[in-house]
Amino acid sequence: MEPEHNKLRLQDVLDNLTDIIVLSDADYQIIDANQSANIIIGQGNTLSGLKCHKMIHDKDTPCDNCPLPASLETGSLVNSNYFDARYGEFFEERTHPIVDDDNGLQGFIITVRNISDIRAAEDESAQSRRLASIGKLTAGAAHDFNNVMAEVMGQIHLIKKTATDAKLLRQLDLLEGSARTGTDTIRRMLDFARGGRVTERETIDTLTLMQNVVYMTQPRWMEVQQKDGIIISTISDFKPDLFIAGSKSEIINAVTNLIFNAVDAMPDGGLLTMSTSESDSKIKINIQDTGTGMTEDVQNRIFDPFFSTKGSFGTGLGLSEVYGTIKRHDGEIIVDSEVGVGTKITLSFNKVDTGPVEITVPKLEVPPIRILAVDDNEYFTEILNELLTSEGHTVSTHISTAKAFEDFENNDYDLVITDMEMPELGGREFAEMIKSKQTNTPVLLLSGWPIFLEDEPNLAEFIDFALAKPFTVEDIQEIILKAIEFKK
């Protein structure tokens, strides 16, 4: 008896393929087709006798860019990709001529494959590569930025300790808030490059938030007003007692992005309206301009990464970051825009019934200790010295690891603070030297990078505590309390 598998025919194989396979003669008439072709483009009917350009491309005449002539001319397979609006999918079409022994044209084999998933995967891979490159650039910039912000926030703290003028203290508070928002943004970008982490949430008073955002962004539209003949007027309408839950810095960053975009959309001036409202247990933050407006196509793409209408002046990342922020907060973005009229963007959040609870945090009672600190940035070591000295500690600072270690060998210290990256010796190597002399002396690592010792066993071998720049005095005082317990 003939083996069962020998009864299989080539047609059985062709009919079980998901690719569309069509055999056409030289006059574009379909001679035969596999089952997938009959089902997909023939809607269950046989394609034999019909024109390939009609059935594959829904055209009454041969396609202007038909690959069949090119296939005949070269005698080889020709590839072409196209988007079919009927299915909303991308396809790859391959054609190959069939010739007789005398090289006379007999017909063509046409195969069509849906490549939408492949294109999506390629786009995702390309975007991942772009994001990886941006991540590397961001990481380097973040390190330098955080070092600078550590100096700025240190100076703000020192000025606040002696300032008595109420207006100056208010401005310093806002400046400190802006600095924190900036550093939080950098950290979120680094978190995104590392895979992201869950953001801690707090109850936010939208009135206070929006008042602070207006104050911080005011220089942007005032700068525009300084241009000849350009005036941007503003209306603010913020309702009291409207609370939402989330990351304050992320929402501030999102609203700031929308305000800057609104200003950019009014190159000839206009009206910028900022408001909050409540509807159906939703709290809404509204940013509206009377600018150029957007077409429907632009509206559909404004939240795509790297899409920008600003040419070389835009990165295309601002609104995609806004979108990510709002989605992480289980919120919604509503865009209403008309070309020549303007744009209104509404951020909608779930309402929180009660406002933030004011918790009085008692000032940490930290006994004075002896601290040795080394950082190759002389300006930062001066600020660090002032900050710690103002809290009653005895501090010795160095910009050279060799000098710092010599000091350590000749004196007794309760805590050693070291920078991560220094020209003479890295923070880990310096900590290893410290531990080789005094294993019970705690070491605190400061860095412009976020450091998580639980994920860095190589560092944790010699580093006891890690703190990312910029930090507050309260942050370092908490570490000092832990260091006192560590040395007991």
Instruction: Report the predicted TM-score, pTM, of the whole model to 2 decimal places.
Output: 0.44
Reported as a pLDDT band with limits 50, 70 and 90, residue 99 is confident
CATH topology of domain 370-487: Rossmann fold (3.40.50)
CATH topology of domain 9-114: Beta-Lactamase (3.30.450)
Would you state the torsion angle of the CA atoms of residues 38, 40, 42, 43, taken in this order, to the nearest 10 degrees? 110
Write out pLDDT tens, residues 358-405. Answer: 555 566 688 999 999 999 888 888 888 888 998 899 999 999 999 999
d(CA 379, CA 402): 19
Rg from Cα positions in the chain: 33
pLDDT at 200 over 70: no
Instruction: Put the strands of the sheet holding 232-237 in their side by side order.
Output: 232-237, 270-279, 282-289, 342-350, 332-338
Write out pLDDT tens, residues 303-333. Answer: 665 445 544 333 334 577 788 788 888 899 9
Superfamily of structural domain 200-359: Histidine kinase-like ATPase, C-terminal domain (3.30.565.10)
pLDDT at 92 over 70: yes
Reported as a pLDDT band with limits 50, 70 and 90, residue 82 is confident
Q: What is the 3-state secondary structure (H, E, C) of 138-159?
A: HHHHHHHHHHHHHHHHHHHHHH
Reported as a pLDDT band with limits 50, 70 and 90, residue 137 is low
Write out pLDDT tens, residues 221-278. Answer: 776 666 666 788 899 999 999 999 988 888 988 899 899 889 888 988 899 999 999 9
d(CA 112, CA 135): 38
